[in-house]
Homo-oligomer: A and B are copies of this chain.
Amino acid sequence: MSKGIKTKETILNTALQLTSKFGLESLSIGELAKSVGMSKSGLFGHFKSKEKLQIMVLDYAAENFTQQVIIPALKKPRGLPRLEAMMMNWKKWSGSYMTGGCPFLSSIVEYDDRPGNVRDHVKLLQETMIGSFERALRVSNEENQIRSNVDIKQAGYEIYANMIAYHIYSRLLGDKNSDKMFTANFDKIITSIKV
């Protein structure tokens, strides 16, 4: 890695930690400069604007998600095995990745009522993730693993619902059965669509 890329990586990593703790809207180039020990003008050189920084932080987290959750799942056989691997990878990743909280979930809540580029980007990233599940489901259909009349969007919605509920049950509620409930619900969704 060149020095420039490594510096950017360090900055984005710190920015992501701050986002995880305080949310994306509170993220400022000034505060970030303090945290990484750089000048504000030096950071402006990297990111140009707060909005650009926010979007790059989201992309940085999304890239990590892709590397940890999606790509390892592609080693599994096409269709349902991949979808199942995505769920298991995600559960592991979501539990270990951020101490502060999920940067995506906090951005969803912060930006769902704030029109603009950041909101559009939060939306795009969620749609991309849900799209990965839907694609795995369409492949499952091609491979005759699920019934041909399955409503793919509905199944994607249910899979997504399970992830968000698990996140809240395990983190806020500290429910010791969260893992079991997540798995039971996922199995139930799959059983309901399987051939």
Residues of A within 8 A of B (CB): 21, 23, 99-102, 105-106, 108-113, 119, 122-123, 126-127, 151, 153-154, 157-158, 160-162, 164-165, 168-169, 171-174, 177, 181, 184-185, 188, 192
- In the complex, chain B residues whose CB is within 8 Å of the CB of A177: 153
Give chain B nearest CB distance to A72 CB in angstroms: 25
- In the complex, chain B residues whose CB is within 8 Å of the CB of A171: 112-113
- Residue of B108, B165, B173 touching A161 (CB-CB under 8 A): B165
| Sample (21) of A-B pairs whose CB atoms are under 8 Å apart | A21-B113, A106-B109, A108-B172, A109-B109, A112-B172, A123-B172, A123-B174, A126-B172, A153-B181, A157-B169, A157-B181, A157-B185, A158-B165, A160-B168, A161-B161, A161-B162, A161-B164, A161-B185, A164-B164, A164-B168, A188-B192
Asked if A160 and B165 sit within 8 Å, CB to CB, the answer is yes
- In the complex, chain B residues whose CB is within 8 Å of the CB of A123: 172-174
Best-surrounded residue of A108, A112, A160, A184 (most CB of chain B within 10 A): A112
Q: How far is the CA of A99 from the CA of B115 in the complex (A)?
A: 13
Q: How far is the CA of A158 from the CA of B113 in the complex (A)?
A: 26
A164-B164, A185-B157 are known contacts. Are A173 and B127 too (CB-CB below 8 A)? Answer: yes
- In the complex, chain B residues whose CB is within 8 Å of the CB of A126: 168, 172-173
Asked if B109 and A105 sit within 8 Å, CB to CB, the answer is yes
Closest 8 pairs (CB-CB, A-B): A161-B165, A161-B161, A112-B172, A112-B171, A157-B181, A106-B109, A164-B164, A109-B109
- In the complex, chain B residues whose CB is within 8 Å of the CB of A154: 181, 184-185
